[in-house]
Amino acid sequence: MRLALISDIHANLEALEATFYDIADRSVDRIVCLGDIVGYNKDAAACIALIRGADCVCVAGNHDLAVSGRITTRNFSSVAARAVAWTRQQLSADDLDFLESLPLKANVGNRVIAVHGALHPEADCASVRLDNDKQRMLSFDALMTHPSGARICAFGHTHHARVYEMRPNRVAMHGDAHVSLRDDAYYLINPGTIGEPRSSERRATYMILDLERRTLTTHYVDYQASADFVASHKPGLASRFGLTGLTSRLFG
């Protein structure tokens, strides 16, 4: 099974469309979305439609939770809180119901556990950042004792592509674009962000996880450079990436 891991779209339709075009050429079996479909940018409804049309495995991000009213924006920045309030007014009842229905965690074939923020138990685990050793160890501990037996947890929220490997007496971070996964190790993997970069890397980033070959590859999409291409194909976008056509185009 080959999974495309995406996260933190943040209503950036241009970036999501370009990323889907890139994924469509890479023979994946399923897209796994690690949350924050909405927030910050203006095209929340269109991004929700593409995610739903792709039949993604999808978990809730903290922005998804806030827009649907499942959490407050008390711990959000003022900019993020204003974006949440504005986005809520732009979405239909059906869109809001979809966001409200998203789980905090998803089990992909007992091979991968998908979360937005953290795997370890927290009252608001979607808002926990795995950005330090202590937090990552808590999620590694939860992964090692998870009843599924999975050795991989995919997470988002930090907007930085990272691969953390845990073997006996050692935790290491891999910075290479291509990583071979060990059978005896546990992994926390973050595919970065599709639509809201927080570093000098301005391209959309996602990862393809090949569970049979035990490989993980980071891909980069220059969605600004792809804008003219995507725009020129817009008449066919509904059939290629719409509610009825995306799954067959990507996975057929």
pLDDT in tens, 122-140: 777 889 999 999 999 999 9
- pTM of the shown model: 0.89
The band of 225, judged by pLDDT with boundaries at 50, 70 and 90, is: low
Pair 207, 2: CB distance under 8 Å: no
In the block, tokens 């809520």 appear at: 88
pLDDT at residue 228 in the model: 56
Q: Domain of residue 72: give its range.
A: 2-251
Instruction: Note the maximum CA span of the chain.
Output: 54
Average pLDDT score over the chain: 89
Report the domain count for the chain: 1
Q: How many residues does the chain have?
A: 252
Which of 5-14, 196-205, 238-247 is predicted most confidently?
A: 5-14
The answer on pLDDT for 241 being more than 50 is: no
CA dihedral 138, 212, 17, 191 (to 10 degrees): 20
Output the domain CATH number for residue 58.
3.60.21.10
**Looking at the predicted structure, is the pLDDT value of residue 162 above 60?**
yes
DSSP secondary structure string, 129-195?
---SHHHHHHHHHHHHT-TT---EEE--SS-SEEEEEEETTEEEEE-SSEEEPPTT-EEEEEE--SS
